Structure 1
């Protein structure tokens, strides 16, 4: 293995998926470079202390991407999305993803793991359009690639000061119907699948993996969380009006769920690839319950 082959660039490293992927790769002894805009930020300094090499760059600055990708053999791609009061800026999201892929080609990168979002039957009706277009650019690029499509994260229970997800006064509110199983996954398991792909790109090239680790009714999941933290938690469905207030894509998710459209990861098949794939109980026992207790009782 050459020095280039061994060096992995991780984008989105100060976010959930990117950060988890950096930690996982460093744990298994891989060389990691991370794309950051502010190397002095607390998050960037924490990554550097863990052993990652910091590289300053920006998806909106093509010249900086050239420098960041120099000597890189593989990359973990999480292009920053743009979301505002009018919904997703699909054009900007596609520009950023395409710009990175083109820069990777020019730099001689051979393999990209691109993490997007789990699919529904009617992807065009909600916020997946930009990601699907970037997926198409990657598939047609001539590079080797793996696409990861994770569902909702267990870590979303930790969200605070947002209309949905998180726990507020013993209530977990969300868009999803109470009577239908909803898939979820631990962020650290997304990182494991990324690491497995980087370890064996020949095996994972050309694969699109819909990722989930568990599927529960939302009231059942709330009860499991409550038992783990020692506080009652109940589930509450948000009305369509609240979904509409957050934009057309959010409202589309609310309606699609009630039309029977769901994420469709094959969890048993994924567990064959990654036997340690976490259930909700496993995530809570490992880190989730302690983190929730700290947030709720702090």
Structure 2
């Protein structure tokens, strides 16, 4: 790149969120540097071929992270979902600390919409507010984004589509907000482009609102036959801490706090509705589940 911009370092660049951020930053003509575990892996090589500078290392390799941050304008931090709570907190906090040490101008951390001010006792959710609190105490311009429920989460095996029904933690007439993973990168690119506006902010991001009844109608039309919608039973929600927490969050928690979609569209004019997303990449996964069931 020859536009004079300093690079942005992206963690998780071979994953869904990080990959979305890399794509959006490249479109916005930012130089991008990616921190990867294996620079020779196919996904890493694809990034290199797209013009991304690669730095290989692990979360435990402080020297590699420090080297990756050298000379950068910004850092995008997202952590994999397979870390235990203490490991995630340790890695997320260390990345932020090294950004301060390296003089990074703008630090963006991707948390989660289920993260609230109170800890839940569910490790998968509690690491993120702890990292948020650590970042807020640092002398650095930081933006925390909290993506709402991923649209991709709704079309995957395990919710009954292979049995001609759909079961989720949403009540039939209850509204929840969603975001397509590809839109996360567009929001992050907008955040890096305007540090004055977004620095110091915690920003929930969403692309659409939808109900269980809406899902029944959309899936029924797509399948060409009835797909009845139902909420998980209380027994199932009680037995599964992740699902139970998300259901409670929709009833009276962080997920019940809807963002203004007009504001979202002003930040990201390309933001996808669920129907638009489903008619594209989502439909392929949906059809594959139905084909496997039929086979």
What's the TM-score once normalised by structure 2's chain length? 0.86
CA 1:57–1:229 in 2, change beyond 3 Å: closer, same or farther?
farther
Aligned pairs for 1:115-194 (under 5 A) are 115-119=110-114, 123-125=118-120, 126=122, 127-160=124-157, 163-164=158-159, 167-194=161-188
Q: Deviations over 1:101-125 (max 9, x none)?
A: 1111222211111111114766422
Provide the secondary structure at the position in 2 that maps to 1:128: helix
Change (3 A) 1:207 1:51: same
Which whole-Å CA distance do the structure 1 matches of 2:248 and 2:154 have between them? 22
How many pairs does the alignment contain? 289
Is the 1:80–1:96 contact (alpha carbons within 8 Å) kept by the matching residues of 2? no
- Could you say which residue in structure 1 is the equivalent of 2:89? 94
Match of 1:36?
36
Quick check: 1:20–1:187 contact (8 Å CA) kept in 2?
Answer: yes
- Residues 56, 64 of structure 2: 8 Å contact kept: yes
Distance apart, 1:4 and its partner CA: 8.8
- Counterpart in the other structure of 2:264: 270
Query: Alpha-carbon deviation of 1:78?
Result: 0.3
* Alignment correspondent of 1:104: 99
SS in 1 for 2:112: coil
Look up the SS of the partner of 2:72 in the other structure.
coil
Distance 1:109 1:120 in 2: 25
1:24 is matched with: 24
Larger mean CA deviation between 74-83 and 202-211 belongs to: 74-83
Change in 2 beyond 3 A, CA 1:159/1:204: same
Contact between 1:213 and 1:278, CA under 8 Å: does it hold in 2?
yes
- My pick for the range that moved more, 27-36 or 113-122, is 113-122
Which piece of structure 1 moves more, 146-155 or 53-62?
Answer: 53-62
Q: What are the ranges of 5 or more consecutive residues in structure 2 without an aligned counterpart?
A: none
CA shift digits 1:123-169 (9 cap, x unpaired): 42244321112112212211111111111111123433xx34x8434
Whole-angstrom CA distance in 1 between matches of 2:4 and 2:135 = 20
Indicate conservation of the 8 Å contact 2:116/2:129, yes or no: no
Alignment of 1:190-229 (within 5 A): 190-228=184-222
Give the secondary structure class of the aligned counterpart of 1:124.
coil
RMSD across aligned C-alpha pairs, in angstroms?
Answer: 2.7
TM-score by length of 1: 0.85
